[in-house]
Structure 1
């Protein structure tokens, strides 16, 4: 992990051209640098490394997630989770008011005003509970939603994760583990995988998983907050009440993939490592796209959420408007920004996250 430097030399250069003023308009034609957006009092600890990454003070031990460029709310919440733009307007409202401006005509024709993407920074100050997310058919049938929650992690620190069952698990066995909160049995039946800094891991919907303590990731996912808890004992959450999406565990647990995955299959979910530049998650292309950029680059017009993971640089628009980049910054890019040039400064590295291509 790289902390943010004190200053961006590009931003200070008076010959560098006009600098984007993101506060001026909810229809910007340039990338917009976003403030932190951390829902408070989550049920697991974390957040110190997000603060360090952004160069900001630690405010709580229970703000382990930063929802970046989010038009998605926490499950059951009317507004919590939605990203503000710098002057206070919600990104969701700006997109709804002019979806073609933000998302592009081709995307809107295929998906409507749905950004089809949620990006987070996640800092696990403790191991997360074993849980799973529903897929699109389950979410459609039981919740009336167009998205499930396939997700992916791009690791900013080394950590262990539990991922997928290593043997077939019967429905009765899973029911019993959940009812008795037999965490040892759950974890003992799962693969344990050591994720290294720079790895990109795809987590298909339905797959049980538990991110380990110390994990710090950029997380891409379908734009929902749908989690089915298999474990809650010892966490600050009422699992019997809140762990089943209001469906009851008897129904919710049907969304869990109980198949035994082989070691090779689980290894295949790691789709890139720290040496990979360009596309990181080809197996997740139906749900999201992620590219790692190092050095200069040229971007075609697209809605995007950007996380700068190291170094400094500049995004230059066709009209010469320059948006500074620095480690710890997060940005949202409207389609209307057009083609952009990435001009790398010292050790620039960033992750560009985008919705799937229109079908």
Structure 2
């Protein structure tokens, strides 16, 4: 790997989900594994889901391997100085044919304490949205812990959620610690910290492949 760098393309990593659909194929022309494909990870340094170069003399090498060789020439001096060979971003496309779970992600401090990992702040760019499609971002009022728990335990969580209508071209920043969910009928691009830690709060009473409530 002593040759000059060139524009790199990576093999997508597809994720089949309960809520996935087929827009990654019909809109983005991707060769998805099924009609329930919810995510296409375009650039990832998540352990166990490391991006691999698709073509050229670096074909077959992982993102981590090429950073080890090219260092700041690939990611820039400031990024390499701060993160070393740990690429700090995860970039993906998400196709929500159904509602995603209501969830939240930890910040860096909590993620380091609990998981020895980075937290998860993310950004969404809406590529396509069906008429009436909405996102959930935060609460619709100020809350204390006791009020939240009372609504949650009584099955009234939905009454507290802030729903945002969306259209193509909209951009949302979702800081770590903010409750959120992607609504059905939305195709978006997501740029987030390199993390796959999710705390699922509520999943619309759906069950997993074994018929058990999703945790």
TM-score tier, shorter chain, comes to: 0.7 to 0.9
Taking structure 1 as reference, are residues 46 and 27 closer, same or farther at Cα in structure 2, changes over 3 Å only? farther
What is the rounded CA distance, in whole Å, between the counterparts of 2:127 and 2:27 in structure 1? 10
**Offset at residue 217 of structure 1 (A):** 0.5
Relative to structure 1, the CA distance from residue 191 to residue 237 in structure 2 (aligned partners, 3 Å threshold; closer, same or farther) is farther
- Matching residue within 111, 125, 150 for 1:154: 125
Q: Against the structure 1 CA distance between its residues 65 and 32, is the aligned structure 2 distance closer, same or farther, given a 3 Å change threshold?
A: same
The 3-state SS of whatever aligns with 2:164 is strand
Determine the structure 1 residue equivalent to 2:166: 195
Residue 118 in structure 1 maps to residue 90 in structure 2: yes
- Decide which structure has greater strand share: 2
CA separation of 1:190/1:242 partners in 2, compared to 1, >3 Å: closer, same or farther? closer
Structure 2 counterpart SS, 1:107 = helix
Unaligned runs of 5+ in 1: 1-24, 74-78, 244-359
Matched residues in 2 for 1:112 and 1:151: separation? 21
In 1, the alpha carbon distance for the partners of 2:127 and 2:4 equals 30
Separation (CA, whole Å) in 1 of partners of 2:197 and 2:112: 12
**1:143 aligned to 2:111?**
no
Q: Tell me how far 1:90 sits from its aligned partner.
A: 1.9
Which one of 31, 45, 52 corresponds to residue 84 of structure 1? 52
What is the TM-score with the length of structure 1 in the denominator?
0.52
| Aligned residue in 1 for 2:103 | 131
Of 76, 82, 103, the match for 1:104: 76
> Does residue 1:169 correspond to 2:140, yes or no?
no
* TM-score, with length taken from structure 2: 0.83
Q: Per-residue deviation at 1:57?
A: 4.5
CA contact (8 A) 2:21 2:95 kept: yes
How far, CA to CA, are the matches of 2:2 and 2:8 in structure 1?
A: 10
Root-mean-square deviation (CA), in Å? Answer: 2.7
Out of 22, 34, 47, the residue aligned to residue 48 of structure 1 is: 22
Query: What is the aligned residue count?
Result: 206
Q: Distance in 2 between matches of 1:93 and 1:60?
A: 30
* Equivalent position of 1:211 in the other structure: 182
Q: Does the 8 Å CA contact 1:123/1:215 hold for their aligned counterparts? A: yes
8 Å CA contact retained: 1:148, 1:224 = yes
Q: Which residue of 2 aligns with 1:220?
A: 191
Residues 58, 112 of structure 1: alpha-carbon distance in 2 compared, 3 angstrom cutoff: closer
Q: CA deviation at 1:221?
A: 0.7
